[in-house]
Amino acid sequence: MNTLQQELDTLLAAMAAQKKFSRDDWEALLLAKLVEEDGHEQQQSH
């Protein structure tokens, strides 16, 4: 995971803790993150 990604994750975690997202946005964000991780895993296995 690169530095930009780590910073993004830190920012997201902080915003989540402060409840800056709506429920729908937060949920979509989490699911999108899982899709992104799945995509990375598939790329690496190829």
Partner 1 sequence: MNNSSPINPATDKTICLIQLTRIGDLLQTMKAAQLFKTHYPDVRLILVGRKKFLAPLTFLLPKTFAKIYALDYEQLVAPPEGSTTPLNAALQRLRQWISLINQENIDVVVNLSFSPSSSYLSKLISAKHHLGLSRRNNGELEIGGSWAQYIYATTMAGPLNPFSIIDLYQLMLAPARDLAKNPLALAASHHSSTTELAVWRPSTLPADWAKRDFTLVVHPFASHGKKTWKIHKWGEVIYKIAKNLPSLKIVVVGGPHDLKDGHQLEDMALIKQVMPQIEWQIGKGSISDLFHHLKTARMLLAPDSMAQQLAMFSETPAVILALGCVRPGETTAYTPYNLVISPRRGCFPCFLQDACPDYACHAHLNETIVAQVVSEYLTTGAINLAKFKQDNSLYYREGLTLWASEIESNGLFNLRPLWGGQDVRDIFRQLYRVAFSYDLAQIEGPAPFPQINGSLRQLLTQHQAGLHYLADLSQFGKQYSQAIIQELALSHPAMEKIKELTQKIAEIEDLQNILKKTYPYLSPLIDLGLVRKAHLAGNNLVHLAEASYYTYEHSFCQAQIMHDLIQQTIDHYQSFARP
Instruction: Give the separation between CA 14 and CA 8, rounded to whole angstroms.
Output: 10
- Beta carbon of residue 1, minimum distance to partner 1 (angstroms, whole number): 12
Write phi, then psi, for 19 (nearest 5 degrees). Answer: 55, 50
Number of residues that bind partner 1 (CB under 8 A): 20
Identity (one letter) of the amino acid at 2? N
Name the region of 19 (left: φ>0; alpha: ψ -120 to 50; beta: rest): left
Binding mask 2-41 for partner 1 (x = CB under 8 A): -------x--xx--xx-----xx-xxx-xxxxxxx-xx--
In the complex, which residues of this chain contact partner 1 (CB under 8 A)?
Answer: 9, 12-13, 16-17, 23-24, 26-28, 30-36, 38-39, 42
